[in-house]
Amino acid sequence: MARIELDLAHAYRPNPQRDEDYALLPLKMSFEDGGAYALLGPSGCGKTTLLNIVSGLVTPSQGGLSFDGRDVTPLSPQQRNIAQVFQFPVIYDTMTVAENLAFPLRNRGVPADRIKQRVGQVAEMLDMSGQLGMRAAGLAADAKQKISLGRGLVREDVSAVLFDEPLTVIDPHLKWQLRRKLKQIHHELKLTLIYVTHDQVEALTFAQQVVVMTRGRAVQIGTASELFERPSHTFVGNFIGSPGMNFLAARGAAEGIEVAGRMLAMPKATLSSLGAFTLGVRPEYVRIAPPSEAGAVPGVVTQAQDIGTYWLVTARVGSGASESLLRARLSPEQSIPQVGETVWLSVVGEHTCYYVNEELIA
């Protein structure tokens, strides 16, 4: 187990010039020993590259990384003592389930009785005890992926266990079960776990700290509630949450801020000198307000959808250049406005965030 520190950048092509040439833009961060991390972002954002750099399958083109202060940049995955589980199941066709699970230990010359004990424990954890003697190639995809997971967890002394979207091929109900299992394993073994996913629910439920990535950049590292309450970048606001954060163009002035054609009272003093900025508010925090309430803007409802446990109401606010759509998550207990109705929606409150150039400023 180790504390992993990164200070690196990576480009797959030589001589990167522009930002687009980088798979991973210059990045400095650390994974604490024993933490559960998730790398979250859309496809192609560089999360798998980052993971492969940590495991040693990819060597960063600039900078390096260290485990507990020891530089490991030139070391192979074996030397780093890393375990990694891949998106699609990798199993050794000619071996039984037990032999598959034992393979990482056997390669390292662990004594046979110790191997047997560990394989038994891991099989127990994954509910595979009954399948140990079966040939792995004949099993279903999810069982194969459980074997891959098991091979990642069978060594106790690893620096970290890395997961690259490991539950993609697993059935939804089993997915939930396995995720809980992983959490439990993390709790018991205190391993450093890094989990790559594009599924925010998976990331937020699994990890203590989530690294949100986009276009080769880690835009925010934080807990689930930090990402939800204070997205430090508009991308995070948009990516986390369902639906994502509402963004409204706004302008600061001496007497207050102008949002959707209406002058609202100044919520924070720092905003007055800014000029144009973006106001972000989560649909969860948009309320139906009495007409002309401070911090509310009028809007025409364009859509009202029943999403089961809540209603999603979309309203058009502002006019002309400042026109935009505002979504609100409303509980079904309150009265839901009809399409075409004009309602007042509160957008400025303690949960409102303010952005300039996509970065959080207040």
Partner 1 sequence: MKPVNQKAWLLILPVVLCVAFSAILPLMTVVNYSVQDIISPERRVFVGTEWFKAVMRDDDLIGALGRQIVFSLAVLAVEIPLGIALALAMPAKGWKSSAVLVLVAISLLIPWNVVGTIWQIYGRTDIGLMGATLSRLGIDYSYTGNATHAWLTVLLMDVWHWTPLVALLCYAGLRAIPDAYYQAASIDGASKFAVFRYIQLPKLRGVLMIAVLLRFMDSFMIYTEPFVLTGGGPGNATTFLSQYLTQKAVGQFDLGPAAAFSLIYFLIILLLCFILYNWMQRVGTADKEPGHG
Does 84 engage in binding with partner 1 (CB under 8 A)?
Answer: yes
Of 52 and 246, which CB lies nearer to partner 1 in the complex structure?
Answer: 52
Choices 38-46, 101-109, 276-284, 331-339; region in contact with partner 1 by CB under 8 A? 101-109
Give the contacts of 313 (CB within 8 A, at least 6 positions apart).
301, 303, 304, 305, 327, 328, 330, 336, 337
Does 93 engage in binding with partner 1 (CB under 8 A)?
Answer: yes
Cβ neighbourhood burial of 274 (10 Å; 0-12, 13-18, 19+): middle
Of 160 and 271, which CB lies nearer to partner 1 in the complex structure?
Answer: 160
Cα separation, 251 vs 143, whole angstroms: 56
- Minimum distance between the CB of residue 98 and partner 1, rounded to whole angstroms? 3
Does 122 engage in binding with partner 1 (CB under 8 A)?
Answer: no
Of 130 and 291, which CB lies nearer to partner 1 in the complex structure?
Answer: 130
Question: CA neighbours within 13 Å on the CB side: how many for 64?
Answer: 9
Does 191 engage in binding with partner 1 (CB under 8 A)?
Answer: no
Of 92 and 190, which CB lies nearer to partner 1 in the complex structure?
Answer: 92
Does 43 engage in binding with partner 1 (CB under 8 A)?
Answer: no
> Is 65:57 a contact under the CB 8 Å cutoff?
no
| Torsion, Cα of 264, 330, 317, 357 (10° steps) | 70
Out of 134, 174, 253, 266, name the contact with partner 1 by CB under 8 A. 134
**How far, rounded to the nearest angstrom, does the alpha carbon of residue 187 sit from its chain's CA centroid?**
20
What are 223's strand-pairing partners? none
Of 90 and 253, which CB lies nearer to partner 1 in the complex structure?
Answer: 90
**How far, rounded to the nearest angstrom, does the alpha carbon of residue 228 sit from its chain's CA centroid?**
11
> Is 289:281 a contact under the CB 8 Å cutoff?
no
Does 174 engage in binding with partner 1 (CB under 8 A)?
Answer: no
> Is 280:353 a contact under the CB 8 Å cutoff?
yes
99-115: b (≥16 Cβ within 10 Å) or e: bbbbbbbeeeebeeeeb
Of 116 and 316, which CB lies nearer to partner 1 in the complex structure?
Answer: 116
Out of 75, 95, 189, 361, name the contact with partner 1 by CB under 8 A. 95
The pair of three-digit structure tokens given for residue 112, joined into one six-digit string: 């046979």
Does 12 engage in binding with partner 1 (CB under 8 A)?
Answer: no
Of 149 and 315, which CB lies nearer to partner 1 in the complex structure?
Answer: 149
- Minimum distance between the CB of residue 95 and partner 1, rounded to whole angstroms? 7
Strands 82-85 and 160-164: parallel
Cα separation, 160 vs 337, whole angstroms: 51
Does 132 engage in binding with partner 1 (CB under 8 A)?
Answer: yes
Count, residues near partner 1 per rule CB under 8 A: 38
Of 102 and 360, which CB lies nearer to partner 1 in the complex structure?
Answer: 102
Of 130 and 320, which CB lies nearer to partner 1 in the complex structure?
Answer: 130
Cβ neighbourhood burial of 231 (10 Å; 0-12, 13-18, 19+): buried
- Minimum distance between the CB of residue 153 and partner 1, rounded to whole angstroms? 12
- Minimum distance between the CB of residue 182 and partner 1, rounded to whole angstroms? 17
Strands 62-67 and 4-10: antiparallel
- Minimum distance between the CB of residue 209 and partner 1, rounded to whole angstroms? 23
Does 175 engage in binding with partner 1 (CB under 8 A)?
Answer: no
Does 90 engage in binding with partner 1 (CB under 8 A)?
Answer: yes
Out of 39, 54, 101, 212, name the contact with partner 1 by CB under 8 A. 101
Of 97 and 330, which CB lies nearer to partner 1 in the complex structure?
Answer: 97
**How far, rounded to the nearest angstrom, does the alpha carbon of residue 139 sit from its chain's CA centroid?**
31
Out of 145, 148, 192, 352, name the contact with partner 1 by CB under 8 A. 148
Q: Which residues bind partner 1 (CB under 8 A)?
A: 52, 55, 57, 76-78, 82-84, 86-88, 90, 92-99, 101-104, 107-108, 115-116, 119, 132-135, 137-138, 148, 151
